[in-house]
Structure 1
Amino acid sequence: MNKSKLALIIIVALGAVWTGGAWFTGKTAEAEYKTQVENLNKQLTSAKSAVAFSVKIENVRFDRGLFSSEMSYDILIESTQDKTQTWRLPFAGTLYHGPLPLNLVRQFDFSPAVFSSHSQLIKNELTTPWFDYTKEQNPITADISLNYMQEFDAALNLAAGDIKLEDIAVNWSNAFIKYAATPKKQGEFNYRYDAAKLTLTDKALADIKLADKAETQSDLSAIDIELQNLDGLMQIIPATNDITTGLYKGKIENLTYTYHFADNKKTANTIYFNNFNYDYAANENEGMLNYDIHNRADSLKINDKNLGGVQLDLQANHLPTNLVAQLIHGIKQQADEKEINEILLKILENQPHFRISPLALQNTAGKFTGNFNIELAHADFANALKKGNVLSLFKQFSLNIDTDKPALVEFLSTLQQLSGVAKEKADGYAQQQVDRIANTLKKQNVIVEEGGSAKFNLAIVNDKLMLNGNEIPEEYIGLMLFGLMMQSK
Structure 2
Amino acid sequence: MKKSLVTVSVIVAAGAAWTGASWFTGKLIEQRMDEVVNNANRQLQDFLPKTGAKLGYEHVQRGIFSSKIRYVLRSDGSAPPDAIALKPSDEVAFLATIEHGPFPFAQLKRFNLLPSMASAHLELENTTAVRNLFDITKGKSPFNAISRISYSGDTSSAINITPLEYPIGNSSLKFSGGTLNADVSRDMTAIVLDANNASAVFSGPNGFGQTEQISVHGVSLKRASHASQFDIDLSDQTITMKHFKLAVDGRDTVALDGFNLVSKFGEQGNNIGGQIDYTLDALKIQGNDFGAGKLTLKIDKIEGNSLKEFTNHYNQQALALLQHGQGVGLATYERQTTDILLQHLPLLLKNNPTISVAPLSWKNSQGESHFTLDLALTAPSQAESLDQLITRSIKKLDAHLTIPLTMATETTTQAARLQGYNAEDARKLAQQQVQGLATMSQMFKLATQKDNVISSNLHYADSQFDLNGSKMSLQEFMSMFGLPVPKDSDPTQGAVPAAAP
Query: Secondary structure of 1:14's partner?
Result: helix
The CA deviation at 1:307 is 1.2
The alignment status of 1:179 with 2:182, answered yes or no, reads yes
- Is 1:256 aligned to residue 235 of structure 2? no
Q: Residue 418 of structure 2 corresponds to which residue in structure 1?
A: 418
Shift of 1:2: 4.5
Are 1:255 and 1:272, in contact at CA under 8 Å, matched by a contact in 2? Answer: yes
Partner SS state of residue 295, structure 1 = strand
Distance 1:459 1:125, change over 3 A: closer
- TM-aligned CA distance change 1:243 to 1:19, over 3 Å: closer
SS of residue paired to 1:446 = coil
Q: What SS is found at the alignment partner of 2:449? A: strand
Contact 1:140-1:158 within 8 A present in 2 as well: yes
Q: Does 1:369 align with 2:370?
A: yes
Matches within 5 A, 1:276-295: 276-280=259-263, 293-295=276-278
Is the contact made by 1:384 and 1:393 (CA closer than 8 Å) also made in structure 2? no
* 2:280 equivalent in structure 1: 297
Distance change >3 Å, CA 91–CA 322, structure 1 → 2: closer
Question: CA contact under 8 A between 1:34 and 1:60: conserved in structure 2?
Answer: no
**AA of the residue aligned to 1:74:** V
Change (3 A) 1:13 1:391: closer
Instruction: Assess, with a 3 A threshold, how the Cα gap between structure 1 residues 285 and 444 changes in structure 2: closer, same or farther.
Output: same
Shift in alpha-carbon separation, 1:424–1:32, aligned structure 2, 3 A: farther
- For the structure 1 residues 366 and 42, does the alpha-carbon distance in structure 2 shift closer, same or farther, using more than 3 Å as the test? farther
Cα 1:291–1:149 shift into 2, 3 Å: same
Cα pair distance change 1:243/1:53, threshold 3 Å: farther
Name the SS of the counterpart of 2:431 in structure 1. Answer: helix
Which amino acid in 2 is paired with 1:89?
Answer: V
Shift, 1:253, TM fit: 1.0
Q: Which of 339, 350, 360 is the aligned partner of 2:336?
A: 339
Do 1:74 and 1:90's aligned partners in 2 also have CA atoms closer than 8 Å? Answer: yes
- Whether contact under 8 Å (2:155, 2:186) holds in the other structure is no
Question: Which is worse superposed, 63-72 or 173-182?
Answer: 173-182
Contact 1:331 1:340 in 2 (8 A): no
Residue 18 of structure 1 deviates from its aligned partner by: 0.8
* Matching residue's letter, 1:346: Q
Contact 2:463 2:474 in 1 (8 A): no
1:272 Cα deviation from its structure 2 partner: 2.1
- Asked whether the 8 Å contact 1:46–1:244 carries over to 2, the reply is no
Corresponding residue to 2:115 among 112, 115, 120:
112
Aligned residue for 1:137, secondary structure, equals coil
> Alpha-carbon deviations, 1:218-242, whole Å to 9, x = none?
6476765432111113456689xx9
CA gap of 1:322–1:222, structure 2 versus 1, over 3 A, is farther
Q: How does 1:222-237 map to 2 (within 5 A)?
A: 224-235=213-224
Is residue 2:68 matched to residue 1:70?
yes
Q: 398-407 or 275-284, which moves further after superposition? A: 275-284
Alpha-carbon distance in structure 2 between the residues aligned to 1:441 and 1:219: 40
**Equivalent pair of 1:465/1:472 in contact (CA under 8 Å):** yes
Specify the alignment match of 1:214 in structure 2.
none
Distance 1:32 1:200 in 2: 48
DSSP 3-state at the match of 1:484: coil
Q: State whether residues 218 and 241 of structure 2, in contact with CA within 8 Å, keep that contact through their aligned partners in structure 1.
A: yes
Matched residue, 1:14: 14
> Does the residue aligned with 1:148 lie in a helix, a strand or coil?
coil
Contact 1:117 1:145 survives alignment (8 Å): yes
Structure 2 letter corresponding to 1:231: S
145, 148, 159: which one aligns with 1:156: 159
With CA pairs under 8 Å and 6+ residues apart, which has the higher RCO, 1 or 2?
Answer: 1
The normalised TM-score by structure 2 is: 0.75
1:98 corresponds to 2:96? no
Q: Report the number of matched residues.
A: 456
Q: Which runs of 5+ in 1 are unaligned?
A: 203-217, 261-266
Task: Name the structure 2 match of 1:195.
Answer: 199
Q: Tell me the C-alpha RMSD between the 2 structures.
A: 4.3
Aligned match of 1:311: 294
Alignment correspondent of 1:210: none
In structure 2, relative to structure 1, the CA distance for the partners of 1:6 and 1:288 (3 Å cut) is closer
1:288–1:164 distance in 2 versus 1, CA, 3 Å: farther
Match of 1:264 in 2: none
1:458 aligned onto 2:461: no
Q: Residue deviations 1:387-406, cap 9 Å, x none?
A: xxx97663022221112222
SS in 2 for 1:83: coil
Residue type matched to 2:370 in 1? T
Find the residue that maps to 2:115 and give its secondary structure: coil
SS of residue matched to 2:420: coil
Farther off after superposition, 23-32 or 162-171: 162-171
SS at match of 1:485: coil
Offset at residue 28 of structure 1 (A): 0.6
Partner SS for 2:483 = helix
Distance verdict in 2 for CA 1:128–1:394, change over 3 Å: closer
Q: TM-score, normalised by structure 1?
A: 0.77
Q: Which residue of 2 aligns with 1:359?
A: 360
